Amino acid sequence: YLSVPFLGQKLRRIDILAGLVCYAGVVVIATRGAVTSLNFSDPLGVSLALGSTLVWASYWIIATRDTRDPVVGLFLNFSFGLPVIALVCWYTVGFGVSGIGSLSAAVYIGVFEMGIAFILWSQAMKKAENTAKVSNLIFIAPFLSLVFIYFILGEVILPSTYIGLVLIIAGLWLQQKKVQARTQGLEHG
């Protein structure tokens, strides 16, 4: 949806409908099924998640206009952010590494989640004709996270989570199905 004001792109009705279906799934998961009361299990957590969604979506959509090589752009962004983060850490809690596990986790996040994943995502956003098609794929991340949480951490997954995931996948399917039908029509027409 943010590609409209930031990039001047037009959303089709199917893009809006697919996004609403996906967000309905997120609401079902966030409320643990109490959709009508909008009773969120963790209001602060949900607010922070929505805020970070807006920040990340804005960043990636604006970054599609960045003409720099993605690796150079990422390096410069992290180089600028590192001193700011270091100052905030020093001012608030200080610098403390609580063992090799913490350091390993930080390296993993830096290389894979913040490095390689960002470069691949940036390339996808730049090559997409319609960023809504690529952006909706981000809704798959919570599904994968839940699979990892269940198998690695052993947490229980609520029935409302499955319903929410079905809605998310239905929204993605709806958008992709319409895109496929339009593409096939152009090829045969």
Tokens of 97: 């590494």
Residue 122 has pLDDT above 80, yes or no: no
28 has pLDDT over 80: yes
Q: Return all residues near 175 (Cβ < 8 A) that are at least 6 apart.
A: 14, 15, 18, 19, 132, 133, 136
Same domain as 135, residue 112: no
53 and 79 fall within a common domain: no
Domain count, the chain: 2
Question: How does residue 86 score in pLDDT terms, banded at 50, 70 and 90?
Answer: confident
Pairwise CA distance, residues 67 & 69, whole Å: 7
Cα separation, 27 vs 160, in Å, equals 10
Q: What is the pLDDT of residue 187?
A: 53
The answer to whether 38 and 50 have CB atoms below 8 angstroms apart is no
Q: What is the pLDDT of residues 102-114, one digit of tens each?
A: 778 778 878 887 7
Q: Are residues 140 and 113 in the same domain?
A: no
Pair 60, 134 in one domain? yes
> Are residue 92 and residue 56 in the same domain, yes or no?
no
Whether 159 has a pLDDT exceeding 60, the answer reads yes
pTM: 0.58
Q: List C-alpha distances in Å: 101 to 82, 96, 112, 155.
A: 21, 13, 16, 21
Q: Is 86 exposed, middle or buried (0-12, 13-18, 19+ CB in 10 A)?
A: exposed
Residue 99 identity (one-letter amino acid): G
The per-residue pLDDT for range 31-76, each reduced to its tens digit, is: 888 787 777 777 888 788 888 878 877 877 777 777 888 778 878 8
Same domain, 87 and 145: no
Statement to judge: residues 98 and 114 lie in one domain = yes
Dist. CA 116–CA 110, nearest whole Å:
9
Per the structure, the complete domain to which residue 78 belongs is given by 66-127
CA dist 111 to 118, 137, 163, 178, 184, Å? 10, 22, 33, 36, 39
- Domain identity same for 96 and 181: no
49 and 134 belong to one structural domain: yes
Distance (Å, rounded) from C-alpha 179 to C-alpha 189?
A: 15
Whole-number pLDDT of residue 65? 77
41 lies in the same domain as 1: yes
The whole-number pLDDT of residue 183 equals 53
Residues 23 and 170 sit within 8 Å (Cβ to Cβ) = no
37-70 as b/e: b if 16+ CB within 10 A: eeeeeeeeebeeeeeeeeeebeebbebbeeeeeb
The answer, yes or no, to whether residue 19 has pLDDT greater than 70, is yes
Q: What pLDDT does 105 receive?
A: 79
Same-domain check for residues 9 and 55:
yes
Do 178 and 154 lie in one domain? The reply is: yes
